Structure 1
Amino acid sequence: MQDQVVTALGALFERVRRRGGAPLADHDPAFPSPAELLPAHAGKVAWQPWRRPEPAGFDNVATALAMPVHAALPAFFGHYFAGNLPVCFKGLFLTLLQPWNQEDFERLQQNQIGHQLMLRKLGLPASWFLASCRDEQRLVTLDNASGEVLLERLGKGPIGVLAPDLATFLQRLEPC
């Protein structure tokens, strides 16, 4: 499953590149990324996905929460440094999240822990955020038990299933 997610994510990066060349991200010289290319213009930097030599894991998150982490999560967030991607899924405009550098990856892990603690407090099932929606009250998540990709209302739980697994979801995304 992990290999399918990594392959599907790499294919999505390639679709983005073919559609419009190197994507742009806000440039902050104090927050560099190995994904950065030469600064493009007006505070923006072009980037390309940078494959980590050694994938990062989520064992520390699993330990902190005393719960298993679905294998698709480290496959999705642990193999690349990249910018966030504007994508479409069946008419739904999303921003697919990716860590920009190691510091951003660690912040992402902390935010995932905070998300889990909020879900526990609300008595909702465990899920991991993957993407934000234009409507800030909705997000795309990975169900920790089933591995399904869900559309959720923040603090309210699942609205519906978008895909049976993360690899399938990534294959169905289109660059916007």
Structure 2
Amino acid sequence: MQDQVVSALSELFARQRRIIGIPLIAYDAEDPSPATLLPALNGQVGWQAWRKPQASSFLNVGEALELAVHEDVSAFFGHYFAGNIDGCFKGLFFTLLQPWNEQDFDRLQQNQIGHQLMMEKLKLPASWFLASCRDEQKLITLDNASGAVQLERLGKGSVGILAPSLAAFLEQVEPC
């Protein structure tokens, strides 16, 4: 399953480049990334997804939480450094999150731990956030048990399944 997720993510980056061209991100000289493509211009820099020579995983997060982390989480967040991707799925607009560099990956893991602790406190099933929605009360998450991609309302849990798997979801995302 991991290979399918990595392949679907790679294809999404390629679609983004075909549709949008080189995406831009606010430039911060103190927060470099191997994904940076162009020199900064007007406070922005172009980027292209950069495949890590050695993939990162969420095994340490699983150990800390005493939870078996769905393998698609590591596949989605552990293989690339990239900017976030604005996308649309069946009329739902969102921003898919990606780590910009190693420090951002560490922050992402810490935020995912916080999300898991909140879910546990609320007695909701474990999920991993993948994207933020325009409606700040909603997230796109991966259900840890099934691997389905779902729409989640903060503090309330899943409000519906978007796709049966992360790979199927990524294959249908339209960059915007």
Does TM-score exceed 0.5, indicating one fold? yes
The equivalent residue for 1:76 is 76
Q: Does 1:110 find its partner at 2:143? A: no
Q: Distance in 1 between matches of 2:162 and 2:9?
A: 17
- Residue type of the alignment partner of 2:79: H
- 1:129 equivalent in structure 2: 129
In 2: Cα distance, 1:2 partner to 1:103 partner: 23
Tell me if structure 2 keeps the 8 A contact 1:27–1:39: no
Could you say which residue in structure 2 is the equivalent of 1:56? 56
Assess if the C-alpha contact under 8 Å between 1:77 and 1:99 holds in 2. Answer: yes
Contact 1:138–1:153 (CA<8 Å) still a contact in 2? yes
Aligned Cα RMSD in Å? 0.6
For structure 2, the 5+ residue unaligned runs are none
Once residues 131 and 39 of structure 2 are traced to their aligned partners in structure 1, the CA distance between those partners, rounded to angstroms, is 26
- Is 1:89 aligned to residue 89 of structure 2? yes
What is the deviation of 1:40? 4.6
Runs of 4+ in 1 over 3 A off after TM superposition: none
Which SS does the other structure have where 1:33 is aligned?
A: coil
Q: TM-score, normalised by structure 1?
A: 0.99
What corresponds to 2:6 in structure 1? 6
Alignment of 1:29-48 (within 5 A): 29-48=29-48
Aligned positions, number: 176
- Aligned counterpart, 2:140: 140
Separation of aligned partners in 2, 1:146 and 1:52: 27
**1:118 counterpart letter in structure 2:** M
1:110 Cα deviation after fit = 0.4
**Aligned amino acid, residue 39 of structure 1:** P
For residues 133 and 106 of structure 2, the distance between their equivalents in structure 1, rounded to whole angstroms, comes to: 22
Which SS does the other structure have where 2:29 is aligned? coil
Q: What is the distance in 2 between the residues matched to 1:17 and 1:85?
A: 11
SS in 1 for 2:38: strand
Identity %, equivalent residues: 68
Deviation at 1:9, TM superposition (A): 0.1
The residue number in structure 1 matching 2:18 is 18
Q: Which amino acid aligns with 1:144?
A: N
AA partner of residue 41 (structure 1): L
In structure 2, distance between residues paired with 1:166 and 1:32: 28
Report Cα offsets for 1:105-142 as digits up to 9, x if no partner.
00000000000000000010000000000000000000
Matches of 2:56 and 2:135 in 1, distance apart? 30
Task: Report the AA paired with residue 116 of structure 2.
Answer: Q
Please report the TM-score for the alignment, with normalisation by the length of structure 2: 0.99
Structure 1: distance between partners of 2:44 and 2:85: 15
Cα deviation, 1:59-92, whole Å, max 9, x if unaligned, reads 1100100010000000000000000000000111
